[in-house]
Amino acid sequence: MSATAHGGAARSGLAHVEQPTMGVLAALAWSCRRDLMLALRAKSEIWLIVVFFVLVTSLFPLGVSPDPVLLSRIAPGIAWVAALLASLLSLPRLFALDHADGSLEQLVLAPAPLPAVVTGKVVAHWLTNGLPLVLLAPLAGVQFGMQPDAIGVLVLGLLLGTPTLSWLGAIGAALTLGTRAGSALVALLVLPLAVPVLIFGAGAAEAVSSGLDAQAQLSLLGAGLIGAFVLGPASTALAIRIAYE
């Protein structure tokens, strides 16, 4: 999809954003719907993430060992690393296309709550990039010989953790907006911050596989998700505003 078409789609919807009476929920819904429509017009990007996740999880056994016991133990870590790397593929484009065609600047100037608009974009990003990975997680678990209860915890952990990764990526993408080598900078910013999510997510499934309780790890993932939704919109919106000052 070209930048001109992308910008035309964005500007055609800005007439709705420019309504003075648009509230938080209306701005969030409009932004999410807009980005979902744009993402569905470029299905190849979604398939790229899906294929990347499948390839990473499939190649690990070839490079480690075919031992079923070993593979079942390291499966949660492999799935989480693959999900993190797959999410990094699309993070630089979260704001870059709108920034390139001027749509993002119009959104900043529009009389709509920018944190709500940002939240809609992040939700749409997770629906098109994070949710497919969550749905593919059971297949990865079966491939590595994980127990059903461990697979359930793996899916639940990804369901709690991948939105947090999207918010971390949104903040990183906003901070590097308009800079050269933005993709590399986003990865450098997001990877260290994503380490706790990776540890707690993989640890939850590993705990269940070892016969332990995973409630503590899942609770920490849930707390991180709440914190991301509380602090993420304002932080991302502030970073975007700074980029245009």
- Of 199, 215, 73, the C-alpha closest to 146 is 73
This prediction has a pTM of 0.85
pLDDT over threshold 60, residue 109: yes
| 13-40 mean pLDDT | 75
Query: Would you give the distance in Å from CA 57 to the centre of its chain?
Result: 18
| 24-42 mean pLDDT | 89
Domain around 107: 3-14+21-243
Residues 8-23 pLDDT 10s = 444 444 444 444 456 8
Least confident span in 66-75, 200-209, 226-235 = 66-75
How many whole angstroms separate alpha carbon 200 and alpha carbon 178? Answer: 33
- When divided into structural domains, the chain yields a total of 1
Collect contacts of 147-151 with beta carbons under 8 A, ≥24 apart. Answer: 147/72, 147/208, 147/209, 149/208, 150/72, 150/76, 150/205, 150/208, 150/209, 151/205
181 confidence band (pLDDT: 50, 70, 90): low
Contact 74, 154 (CB under 8 A): no
Other C-beta atoms lying within 10 Å of the C-beta of residue 65: 12
Residues 139-164 pLDDT 10s = 888 888 889 999 999 999 999 999 99
Residues 58-95 pLDDT 10s = 887 777 777 778 888 888 989 999 999 888 888 877 88
Mean pLDDT of the chain: 85
